[in-house]
Structure formats: structure tokens, C-alpha cells
Chain A
Amino acid sequence: SQTIHQWPATLVQPVGSPLSLECTVEGTSNPNLYWYRQAAGRGLQLLFYSVGIGQISSEVPQNLSASRPQDRQFILSSKKLLLSDSGFYLCAWSVGHTNEQFFGPGTRLTVL
């Protein structure tokens, strides 16, 4: 069966520090991968998605970037965090041209 992992689960970082969040998927090949951000009490905002290794589509221009160095690995990064980067970051996967997406447990990021 397929599983999706995210780490760390929680993170507290100072303004201006770098960020690296990692997501990995097991049990499937060539998944579509997604990064979402969720502000407190709000909906999900799609940040990036990838349909293959090295391919990244950016949905919202901002302080973040994404990379996909391996088939089942998706990384969200920032060189300098802003206070507004605080939120709940969710990774998700889907397969092929289906839109049924499965979510990871999320990372709670607090920027102070």
C-alpha cells in the first residue's frame, strides 16, 4: 500500500532563516506530487506541483521554491523565511491523470 511521509512534524524558525521541508511517497511510481499551505482556519492553497522528476509548476509567486530530486521525493525550500510563511504545509500525491489526491500528515511551521 502507498504511504506518504512528511518531516519534520513541527518547526519553529526565526525570520530570515532558511527552510527545507521534505516529503516522500512509498508504494507507487511516478506520482504527481503537490505542496499546499493552509493558514489557520482557512482552506488549502496550492503552492507547487510536479508531474515528474525535475519538473515543477509554481502556482503562487512567493518566497518559496520546490524541487523534485528523485521520483518519490518532493522538497519545499526557502532561502529566507518571512513571518507570513507560517502555516500548515501539506504534501499530497496522485497517480496518472486522476485527481484523487492523498495527503501527508503535514508540517506545522511557525516563523518568529
Chain B
Amino acid sequence: GESVGLHLPTLSVQEGDNSIINCAYSNSASDYFIWYKQESGKGPQFIIDIRSNMDKRQGQRVTVLLNKTVKHLSLQIAATQPGDSAVYFCAEDGGSNYKLTFGKGTLLTVNP
């Protein structure tokens, strides 16, 4: 079956560096993608989303890039801070109006 996956399960960066978290998806019907941040013991928190008619979207310190040709999604965090330490999940809609399929997650650790 088609799935969403991540290239790197863990990522460790120094405070102030930029972070890049990658995600591969295989469902060509996916039209909508979201990145979530989940801190330990808490529910996932929406970070940023992007639709398939775009290839880049920027938020506050975060940028999502979508490459539909190779079915790749990335989350870039500028000037990473200790508070950014969390597990980051990508999710795709698989063409559904209601459901999301989540990737396995990447643990980001920011070293002071």
C-alpha cells in the first residue's frame, strides 16, 4: 500500500543552526500535506501546511517545500531553538476529504 515515510528518524542540531526534516510520500493522489510538532506527553500541534498547487510556503521561522516530481516534502526550521526539540510528523491526505496518513516521525534534538 502507499505510505508516508521519513528519511531520518533522529536529527541533532546545535542551537542557532537551521534544521531540515525530510519526508517521502508515495500516494500521487495526495493534495494536501501538513507538518505537526509533538512534544513529549502532548498531542501533535499544527505547524504549517501546503497544497499540491504550491511548492513552497513560509511561516514564522518555518518553511515547507514540496517537490511533487520526486514526492518529497521537507520542513526547514531557521535558527533552531531548544524549544523546537520534539518529534515532527508529516501527514498527507491521500486524496481523502477527511483522513490524514501520518509518517513515522523524526525526533529533533537541539543542543544548547
- The answer to the question of B65 belonging to the interface, with a C-beta cut-off of 8 Å to chain A, is no
- The answer to the question of B93 belonging to the interface, with a C-beta cut-off of 8 Å to chain A, is yes
List of B residues within 8 angstroms of A106 by Cβ: 41-43
Interface flags for B27-71 (1: CB within 8 Å of A; 0: not) read: 000001010100001111110010000000000000000000000
Q: Are A99 and B89 in contact (CB under 8 A)?
A: no
State the interface size on chain A (CB cutoff 8 A). Answer: 20
Q: A43-B89, A43-B105, A44-B89 are in contact. Are A101 and B100 (CB under 8 A)?
A: yes
CA distance A51 to B46 in the complex (A): 21
Partner of A103, one of B44, B49, B98: B44
Q: Are A99 and B44 in contact (CB under 8 A)?
A: no
Please give the residue numbers on chain B whose beta carbons come within 8 Å of chain A beta carbons, in ascending order: 32, 34, 36, 41-46, 49, 89, 93, 96-105
Told that A43-B102, A46-B101, A105-B42 touch, could you supply 10 new A-B pairs with CB distance under 8 A?
A44-B89, A46-B100, A49-B99, A90-B44, A94-B98, A99-B93, A99-B99, A101-B34, A103-B36, A103-B43
